Structure 1
């Protein structure tokens, strides 16, 4: 009876299996593609990074008291190191300031200033609500054509790929992730990144949406 049912429905079963397998393999394959495409542009030591004028530091959350989360602090620490080594001259802090009581970029600025970075060498992008929007605004609002991107290793390939396809010639400094934070947290972020890559490819190659906010040009001198 089961064999007869299978013979009658084998095409449906085959299609279902193919679609199911494809839904798993496609994100993995595209994630591999983005990693491969950015491999020569990623560094893990500040001393290895080619000199550029500007480093773009991506937001990664703040606590209710306005202090950076460990991931965000590590990103700012890495940018500070680039600055102190003379690898960059300016820092663009880009993140979420969508509410009066949530201001990632001011927290990033304050943290960098406490480590000796002159406040005049820090520019704030209050409307960097996503990697795509941060890269888009870096070019269109701040006039950035080349930059060092600073973020965790799991996020860096997508950040570089996105900026590069939005006309920002980017290399990146990746900060440690595995072994630096709770394993469950990093596993969740890494898994989510595979889906985020799909969204990024859609945005840069197909939909090209405008950021939530644009505004007037503010170039960085």
Structure 2
């Protein structure tokens, strides 16, 4: 029993160290490619907007969603991006992140013809890989919150993609502790995905980005 306890303790300690190191490495290795100021952000033809739910409990708008859409609209109007891929989850007829993003951006004055909807962005890994393999983009700007951008950039760079990111406005402290904890655990998973597990993204659709 003592040996079992020591083994379990050792495994737990190793797991904690692995999670910490992965988080440090993902953030450290991508920090120079994540931009916070519009005037310092290099221009790119294409932006990849990572999806999240439009609403939270009791129908209130999700601030992560709101701020991402506002950031996307601003970058488009400032001429920092020309075309937009909206990638998110569409696992039922009642839940459609790409369509929700499109509607929000239309309300913010972004024209429909510059937007392409990717309905198979079930995970960040899928969204990034599909942007390259399905939509034939090897250089683009990722738009999400700062904490999420680090993981997306890490995946992109490990997949040979020349990506940068823009950090949308962050939410107030304590707004969603669950989201931050999930992200903290998702980064080690991203490291395992790109270096060991190599999950298969859905590459069946081949829709081209609409051009002017």
**TM above 0.5, one fold?**
yes
Q: Hey, what does 2:186 align to over in structure 1?
A: 196
Give the counterpart of 1:181 among 172, 177, 180.
Answer: 172
Could you tell me the TM-score, scaled by structure 2's length?
Answer: 0.89
Give a deviation string over 1:3-58, Cα, whole Å, max 9, x none: xxxxx95x666544433222212101110001011011011122221110011111
Note if contact 1:83-1:89 (Cα within 8 Å) is conserved in structure 2: yes
Give the counterpart of 2:65 among 48, 57, 72.
Answer: 72
Aligned residues: 209
Q: Over aligned residues, Cα RMSD in angstroms?
A: 2.3
Could you tell me the TM-score, scaled by structure 1's length?
Answer: 0.86
Give the counterpart of 2:208 among 197, 200, 219.
Answer: 219
Give the counterpart of 1:208 among 198, 204, 207.
Answer: 198
Deviation at 1:98, TM superposition (A): 1.4
Q: Does 1:24 align with 2:16?
A: yes
SS in 1 for 2:11: helix
Note the residue ranges of structure 2 that are not aligned, 5 or more in a row: none
Deviation at 1:218, TM superposition (A): 2.0
Give the counterpart of 1:39 among 31, 53, 65.
Answer: 31
Whose Rg is larger? 1
Q: 1:18/1:72 Cα in 2 relative to 1: closer, same or farther (>3 Å)?
A: same
- More contact order relative to length (CA 8 Å, sep ≥ 6): 2
